[in-house]
Structure 1
Amino acid sequence: MLISQVRKEDGSVIVAVRAPGETARAVRGAESVYALAMEAANSRRSLRDVVDAKGFGETIDLEEAYSQGRLLSPITHPDPAHLHLTGTGLTHLGSAATRDAMHKKATEATEETLTDSMKMFRMGLEGGKPKSGEKGVQPEWFYKGNGTTAVAPGEPLVSPSFAEDGGEEPEMAGIYVISDKGVPFRLGFAVANEFSDHKTERVNYLWLAHSKLRQASFGPEIRIGAAPEDIRGASRILRGGKVLWEKPFLSGEANMSHSFANLEYHHFKYGLFRAPGDIHVHMFGTATLSFGDGIRTEEGDVFEIEAKEFGLPLRNPLAIAAEEEVAVHQL
């Protein structure tokens, strides 16, 4: 089942659900995906059961709503400060050739000559998929922002005026709510663009935290339930309506050095991230970047990321923010 949110002309929200390839229907009496998810989490029922119990109303043309700019992020919080955008890196094996090269380098190089990134990657290969009941190695982790930096599908991803670069990262994101008792529940997965500043990161890896403090987008639909083992999608950049760059991307545990369960544990082990009522959108990393192929994005470029099992493609144009004067004043 795929679930999404559409804004009506009066500003109210329609929750729409559908099976892949079918027409969406409105969920009767649903105020938001968040409200449905919290009802499911607090009653220990599946989201699918909660949706089915409410029943369905009018059909919704999601493509038309998308073209009219009425698709919202597929989950939003009434208080954006309680939606957290986070992610993990160095989690994907990439192509077979890249994987072989990484294995060779990781196993033949000495500990002293490995970069910190390669050490982290090797740790994931060795301990990122623990057996049931065991604790695996923790991944690289980063913070992106809260709900104020979550951009709806179709809306511009805005790069700060001080940024060196604004580039896409096609990823899968896990979507979670925290029940009233502080228990994390996963709704499902969505396509995400973990928008980053790769030139800043490249200067020095210790600037990674700075490079990740950017907007992000996910959706337009959430695929309820577990993710497929082998996810195959496409990432492209359009300039002037024509494809400038395009490449397949792989995700799912068959293409990862960590299991989703291990990445989830190392995020939610912190009590900070189990605050009742919060939403978490946690992005799981990628091995595919246009930046790595020498592409330099420009204002007006359109990012498009899709994976057929996850509904409509995610599209966002790139915008550049005007320069701001920032000063701290003494009280």
Structure 2
Amino acid sequence: MLISQIITPEGTTIVAAREVGGKAREVLGTTSVRALALEAARTGQSLVSVIEARGFGMEIDLETVRNEGRFLPPITHPDPAHLHLTGTGLTHLGSAATRDSMHKKTTEAAEETLTDSMKMFRMGLENGKPAPGETGVQPEWFYKGNGTQAIASEQPLISPSFALDGGEEPEMAGIYVIGDDGVPYRVGFAVSNEFSDHVTERINYLYLAHSKLRQASFGPEIRIGAPPEDIRGTSRIRRGDQVIFEKPFLSGEANMSHTFANLEYHHFKYGLFRQPGDVHVHMFGTATLSFADGIKPEEGDVFEIEVPEFGLALRNPLKIAAKEEITIRSL
């Protein structure tokens, strides 16, 4: 089942649900995916069962919703500070080559040794898929922001005026709510654009934290349940009526050096991330970047990330923020 959050023409919020390839219908009696997920956690039911028990109302044309820009992020929190955007890197087979080329040392001696990126990637290959009951190696981890940085499909991703780059990262994101008992509950998975500043990151890998403090988009639909082992999608950049970049990308555990379970454990092992009622959107990495092919996105370009099994394509135009004057005042 696929679920999404939509603003009606009258300005109210509704939840829509459909099967892959099917028609969407309003889920009766709710305005929040988070509320549905917490109800499932509290009652011990599956999320699909909770949705089906609510019943379905009017049919919704998702193409019209998309064209009118009425999608919300597919999960939100009434207090954006309690929605966490985070991610992991160097998790996909092949991703190390892109990262390593960005972080390559310039001296001859350094080129004869493994970079830190390659060391991290090798650690994942060796122990990123532990046996059941065992703990695997922890991945690279980063923080992107809170719910104020979560951008709906069709809305612009805004690159700060000081950024050196604003590029896409096509990824799968896990969507979670924290139950009243402090247990993380997985809602499902969604397509995401883990928007980043790759030029800043390339200067020095210790700038990774700076490069990731950017907006992100995910959805517009969440696929409930376990993801396929082999996920195949397409990442594009459109400039006007031309496609300036198009490349397939792979995800799913068949194409990863870590299991989703291992990545989830190393995020939620921190009590900070198990606060009841919170929402987490955790992005699992990619091996495909237009940056690696020498593409420099420009304002007005549209990022498009598509995986048919996960619903409508995620689309966001790029916008460059105006320069801000930052003043620090003494009290």
Q: Structure 1-normalised TM-score?
A: 0.95
Residue aligning to 2:185: 185
Q: What is the identity, as a one-letter code, of the residue corresponding to 2:289?
A: L
Q: How far, CA to CA, are the matches of 2:180 and 2:94 in structure 1?
A: 38
Please list the CA deviations of residues 45-98 of structure 1 after superposition, one character each: whole Å capped at 9, or x if unmatched: 110010011111110001101100101111111111100000000000038x96
Residue aligning to 2:171: 171
Where 2:168 maps in the other structure, the secondary structure is coil
Residue aligning to 2:131: 131
Q: What is the identity, as a one-letter code, of the residue corresponding to 1:154?
A: E
Where 2:122 maps in the other structure, the secondary structure is helix
- Structure 2 spans left out of the alignment, 5+ residues: 102-108
Where 1:282 maps in the other structure, the secondary structure is strand
CA RMSD of aligned residues (A): 1.9
In the alignment, is residue 284 of structure 1 matched against residue 279 of structure 2? Answer: no
Where 2:297 maps in the other structure, the secondary structure is coil
Q: How far, CA to CA, are the matches of 1:31 and 1:296 in structure 2?
A: 39
Question: Conserved in 2, the CA contact under 8 Å of 1:233 and 1:306?
Answer: yes
Instruction: Label 1:40 to 1:29 Cα distance change in 2 as closer, same or farther (>3 A).
Output: same
Q: How far, CA to CA, are the matches of 1:19 and 1:256 in structure 2?
A: 27
Residue aligning to 1:221: 221
Q: Structure 2-normalised TM-score?
A: 0.95
Where has structure 1 moved over 4 Å in runs of 4 or more? none
Question: Conserved in 2, the CA contact under 8 Å of 1:6 and 1:13?
Answer: yes
- Structure 1 spans left out of the alignment, 5+ residues: 103-108
Please list the CA deviations of residues 146-190 of structure 1 after superposition, one character each: whole Å capped at 9, or x if unmatched: 000000100000000000000000000000000011110001100
Residue aligning to 1:37: 37
Residue aligning to 2:302: 302
Q: How far, CA to CA, are the matches of 2:87 and 2:178 in structure 1?
A: 17
Where 1:122 maps in the other structure, the secondary structure is helix
Where 1:322 maps in the other structure, the secondary structure is coil
Question: Conserved in 2, the CA contact under 8 Å of 1:235 and 1:249?
Answer: yes
Please list the CA deviations of residues 200-221 of structure 1 after superposition, one character each: whole Å capped at 9, or x if unmatched: 0000000000000000000000
Where 2:288 maps in the other structure, the secondary structure is coil
Q: How far, CA to CA, are the matches of 1:311 and 1:94 in structure 2?
A: 26
Where 2:39 maps in the other structure, the secondary structure is helix
Question: Conserved in 2, the CA contact under 8 Å of 1:130 and 1:136?
Answer: yes
Please list the CA deviations of residues 247-298 of structure 1 after superposition, one character each: whole Å capped at 9, or x if unmatched: 0000000000000000000000000000000000000000000000000010
Q: How far, CA to CA, are the matches of 1:316 and 1:288 in structure 2?
A: 17
In the alignment, is residue 311 of structure 1 matched against residue 299 of structure 2? Answer: no
Q: How far, CA to CA, are the matches of 1:258 and 1:44 in structure 2?
A: 29
Residue aligning to 2:212: 212
Residue aligning to 1:255: 255
Aligned pairs for 1:13-52 within 5 A: 13-52=13-52
The alpha carbon displacement at 1:10 in A equals 2.8
Q: What is the identity, as a one-letter code, of the residue corresponding to 2:118?
A: M
Q: Number of aligned pairs?
A: 323
Residue aligning to 1:83: 83
The alpha carbon displacement at 1:9 in A equals 2.4
Residue aligning to 2:67: 67
Residue aligning to 1:105: none
Percent of aligned pairs sharing the same letter: 74
